[in-house]
Structure 1
Amino acid sequence: MMGLLIESQKENEVKWTLESIAWYRVTEMLSRRKPWHCMAKGLILGCLLTGFLLLLYSYAIAPSQVAMAKASTPSRCSSPPTLPANITKGSCWPKLDIVFMKTHKTASSTLLNILFRFGQKHRLKFAFPSGYNDFNYPSFFKRSLVHNYQPGDCFNIICNHMRFYYSEVRSLVAPNATFITVLRDPAHLFESSFHYFGLVVPFTWKLTGHNKLAKFLQDPNRYYNPRGFNAYYLHNLLFFDLGYNNELDPRSPQVAEHILEVEQRFHLVMLQEYFDESLVLLKELLCWELEDILYFKLNARRASAVSPLTGELYRRATDWNKLDALLYRHFNASFWRKVEAFGRERMAQEVASLRRENKRMERICIDGEHAVDAKDIEKPSLQPWQAMGAKTILGYNLKKHISHQYDQLCRKMVTPDIQYMTELGVNLWVTKLWWYIRMLLQI
């Protein structure tokens, strides 16, 4: 009964928020004094959008909530580890069974692209969601969310956004699958999340002034509501993504227990600030080749859209995200222990090789050899997903003439998540429909 009351409350919050977004768009247009026919169009489209999303919610989300009450069918992947073909005698075997816990705003889209390319290259079996580009986030992951899942199914790679639920994920992969994730300095992650998700976190709408981030951090508890819609985006987001209570008291012994649990479950915890070093450790762990970890930065923001965190703001942001700070501090220390074991000099050489190859690929693939604003991206197929509001996420234009040897690789390296998933055969009809509606409403 309590569970049903909670779900009912969440449903009411979702409905209220959708209606608020529609009303927000209308009042915004009124404040700009647009001609009456533009305001009428906005009102009609806003109402239609709200009605459609409420209908979609009742069709897609509510049934999944009912399913949560049903006991999961005991089932476990019984497949042996996947072995690559054409292995040279004496060499190590590339590991092909991988779980990537994709955290938010941590360069995870770049790593996702690496995994997509690797999976395509070896014809691996991905566990993908259906209709969406995530596993019904922020709900906990369930194996039933995997497209066309049947009890006993086994997969090589799981890598889309989810709220981590270890036992459910573990049941879908071989016993010796490699688990990886990536963390980021919590203060900088908070700054990125605040600007990327702020418009869909209703309690931030009452913030005024030029620097809303600074105003929020002056007294977070004045604005923050832990039960507010999408509140998790703005408080200990890493802890939340990893499946834990992001509102725990930092002094609780549970915090240390959860951090130890992450250490036991994940074979490698990467750091966004040391992404190249992290990729080198990943290559070593998985016995991959240098060509497997080449990348261009994806989903990066325009520099002017990044709010600088002064010493005091940085301290406040870190203190506000204390659980994430404790998590990051622990794995920052363990990361450098891994680097020491790998060898500092060897690491420097490997990183230099990776950066040299990345630069070479930029010269081969990228027009102008740098990322550009969304408005300057020529092909719609290379347009990255943007946050609601200003388009601050950068993308790439490919050179007009690329040699046949590199043509496919160049295209794959710059393809955003949504388009790449479509290429891999995922039906993202809900995500795409929302994209078209946003383009129509210019939000």
Structure 2
Amino acid sequence: MNGSHFTSELSKTCTPREDIMFMKTHKTASSTILNILFRFGQKHRLKFAFPNGRNDFYYPSYFDRSQVKDYRPGMCFNIVCNHMRFNYEEVHKLLPEDTIYFTILRNPAYLFESSFHYFGRVIPFTWKISGEDKLAEFLREPNRYYDPSGFNSHYLKNLLFFDFGYDNDLDINDPKVKKHIKTIDERFHLVMLLEYFDESLILLKDVMCWDLDDILYFKLNVRKDSTVSRMTGDLYEKASNWNKIDSMLYQYFNATFWKKVERYGFERMERDVEELRRRNDNMQSICIDGGHPVDANAIQEASLKPWQPLGERSIMGYNLKKNISKKHRKLCRKMLTPELQYLSELGVNLWITKLWSYIRDLLKW
């Protein structure tokens, strides 16, 4: 499934693709991609396979068709994009044969850092870690603290590999590791990289035969700089070594990514990225009050306030400008709408919010 139909913006010979499976990984700007897919699906009146009463497909359980809202045997959908633990056999049965599969990865050391801070309060074995810098203490002796069978332990070791449905505690030399990475490569048309987000979107646009308007975005679910630790070289190495499988996964797809960019054309990519950024900057000046994200307590509309991790207010959001032209009003609001609110707009009855889900899970534990 690796074939890509590359086309130019000016002379398209392909038909825009509308059947999409986005494997939403954790802490990889996937909420921003979800917003792009929600807008595209709404615009073209496509049929989403949404979770039944949650914003994820009962993660960290494996995906099952029965988790889809209003599912009946034989139903077919256009878009699957919410968090899940990937199960290809089940997903495949929901979508047309020519569906485009894509996903996104992030440098595993930085993903680990982000996951540690974001999910730490709901991972019980981290509660006994002492000291001011718990992340550094954990990485000093990870096996002293890590319990592979512990509740929510998957968030702190090879999280990407786990999200793809594989055993995140395999030995790095186990032949199944390379076999599973090869399987991912065979099933996904495009593996994007967070560190090259704009270049990734240009490749996605090309694979999907979309227009530039379809991939305009604002960064959503972004943490405040003050909550992001600056990993030293030593900590970075320790985090990479602790997440060895994810590091191998990332290195593999970093190589395939740049082969796709080369095939697309480096100069062409540079021009297209520049145009995407120019268009995003223009939309930012049209839509966003002050032109930048603000702390959660400074967001004026409740409908634009993003969900916050348990006990924190570290996720930033935006204020919508007051006097936006009729031409841009609807698009601006959609581009700034957080995931949970957008899901509600699309008809998903979220009787359990993320916050209550975490509290419930903690009580269960």
Q: TM exceeds 0.5?
A: yes
Q: Distance between the aligned counterparts of 1:436 and 1:407, measured in 2?
A: 35
Q: Distance between the aligned counterparts of 1:161 and 1:436, measured in 2?
A: 15
Q: Distance between the aligned counterparts of 1:227 and 1:156, measured in 2?
A: 36
Q: Unaligned 5+ residue runs, structure 2?
A: 1-9, 361-365
* 1:357–1:252 CA distance, 2 compared to 1 (3 A): same
Partner of 2:338: 416
Cα RMSD of the aligned pairs, angstroms, is 1.6
Q: Post-superposition shift, 1:111? A: 0.2
Partner of 2:126: 204
| 2:168–2:245 CA contact under 8 A, matched in 1 | yes
Partner of 1:367: 289
Considering only CA atoms, is the larger Rg found in Structure 1 or Structure 2? 1
Partner of 2:347: 425
- In the alignment, residue 64 of structure 2 is paired with which amino acid? K
Q: Say if 2:208 is the partner of 1:292.
A: no
Q: Distance between the aligned counterparts of 2:75 and 2:131, measured in 1?
A: 52
* 1:348–1:425 CA distance, 2 compared to 1 (3 A): same
Q: How does 1:256-295 map to 2 (within 5 A)?
A: 256-295=178-217
Q: Unaligned 5+ residue runs, structure 1?
A: 1-87, 439-443
Q: Post-superposition shift, 1:208? A: 1.4
Taking structure 1 as the reference length, the TM-score comes to: 0.78
- In the alignment, residue 149 of structure 2 is paired with which amino acid? R
Query: Does 383-392 or 288-297 show the bigger shift?
Result: 383-392
- In the alignment, residue 215 of structure 2 is paired with which amino acid? I
Q: Distance between the aligned counterparts of 1:436 and 1:104, measured in 2?
A: 16
What SS does structure 2 have at the residue aligned with 1:100? strand
| 2:122–2:358 CA contact under 8 A, matched in 1 | no
Partner of 1:189: 111
Among 161, 182, 189, the alignment partner of 1:239 is: 161
Q: Post-superposition shift, 1:434? A: 2.2
What SS does structure 2 have at the residue aligned with 1:429? coil
Q: Post-superposition shift, 1:209? A: 1.4
| 2:310–2:355 CA contact under 8 A, matched in 1 | no
Deviations 1:13-54 (A, max 9, x none): xxxxxxxxxxxxxxxxxxxxxxxxxxxxxxxxxxxxxxxxxx
Q: Say if 2:33 is the partner of 1:111.
A: yes
Partner of 1:8: none
- Tell which has more relative contact order, 1 or 2 (C-alpha 8 A, sep 6+): 2
* Percent identical: 64
Q: Say if 2:316 is the partner of 1:381.
A: no
Q: Distance between the aligned counterparts of 1:437 and 1:314, measured in 2?
A: 31
Q: Distance between the aligned counterparts of 2:298 and 2:52, measured in 1?
A: 31
Partner of 2:243: 321
Q: Say if 2:175 is the partner of 1:253.
A: yes
What SS does structure 1 have at the residue aligned with 2:308? coil
Q: Say if 2:276 is the partner of 1:354.
A: yes
Q: Distance between the aligned counterparts of 1:152 and 1:90, measured in 2?
A: 34
Q: Say if 2:59 is the partner of 1:148.
A: no
- In the alignment, residue 285 of structure 2 is paired with which amino acid? R
* 1:282–1:436 CA distance, 2 compared to 1 (3 A): closer
Q: Post-superposition shift, 1:389? A: 2.0
What SS does structure 2 have at the residue aligned with 1:126? coil
Q: How does 1:6-25 map to 2 (within 5 A)?
A: none
| 1:131–1:431 CA contact under 8 A, matched in 2 | no
* 1:343–1:436 CA distance, 2 compared to 1 (3 A): closer
* 1:433–1:210 CA distance, 2 compared to 1 (3 A): closer
Aligned length: 351
- In the alignment, residue 267 of structure 2 is paired with which amino acid? E
Deviations 1:334-384 (A, max 9, x none): 000100000000000000000000000000000000000101000110110
Q: Say if 2:300 is the partner of 1:342.
A: no
Q: Distance between the aligned counterparts of 1:389 and 1:222, measured in 2?
A: 26
- In the alignment, residue 108 of structure 2 is paired with which amino acid? P
Q: Distance between the aligned counterparts of 2:359 and 2:102, measured in 1?
A: 35
What SS does structure 2 have at the residue aligned with 1:244? coil
* 1:243–1:436 CA distance, 2 compared to 1 (3 A): closer
- In the alignment, residue 363 of structure 1 is paired with which amino acid? S
What SS does structure 1 have at the residue aligned with 2:127? helix
Among 43, 46, 50, the alignment partner of 1:128 is: 50
Q: Post-superposition shift, 1:158? A: 0.1
Q: Distance between the aligned counterparts of 2:154 and 2:355, measured in 1?
A: 25
Q: Post-superposition shift, 1:222? A: 0.3
Q: Distance between the aligned counterparts of 1:420 and 1:122, measured in 2?
A: 16
* 1:89–1:336 CA distance, 2 compared to 1 (3 A): closer
Q: How does 1:29-48 map to 2 (within 5 A)?
A: none
